[in-house]
Amino acid sequence: MHLPMPDISSHLYVFLLAAFLGLEVIKRVSPLLHTPLMSLTNAISAISVVAAIELAGAGHGKFATTIGVIAVVAATTNIVGGFMITDRMLRMFKKRGGQK
């Protein structure tokens, strides 16, 4: 049984609402918590990659495939960047070789 696809305005509304709420939540986070928060968002982005791969390969048309591929690239970039930032922040807290 196939349900009718919602129109683009519903998807755009959900996207804009999620973006606004995400920005409001991140804005209020203490700078000390940014690294743990980045690690958590990597896990969420991994879920986004799986969903984007499914969308890209579902065969709903050229537009859906293109949007799916863009979503895969964007979420993968977010994951890689997040791990790089987390690694850099964690290295700042390690003791250097000669120090006690």
Confirm whether pTM is higher than 0.75: no
What pLDDT band is residue 34 in, cutting at 50, 70 and 90? Answer: low
Answer whether 62's CB lies under 8 Å from 49's CB.
no
The DSSP element (H or E) to which 77 belongs, if any, is helix 62-92
What pLDDT band is residue 20 in, cutting at 50, 70 and 90? Answer: confident
- Across 26-49, average pLDDT: 70
| Domain boundaries of the chain, sorted by first residue | 58-92
Q: Tens digit of pLDDT for each residue in 43-83? A: 777 777 888 888 788 888 888 888 888 988 988 888 888 78
Which residue has tokens 């999620």?
A: 18
Beta-carbon contacts of 64 under 8 Å, excluding residues fewer than 6 positions away, are 55, 56, 58
- Across 31-46, average pLDDT: 68
Q: What is the per-residue pLDDT for 58?
A: 80
Q: How far, rounded to the nearest angstrom, does the alpha carbon of residue 46 sit from its chain's CA centroid? A: 7
For residue 99, give the 3-state DSSP assignment. coil
Q: What is the per-residue pLDDT for 99?
A: 55
Average pLDDT of the chain is 76
- Tokens representing 6 are 């919602």
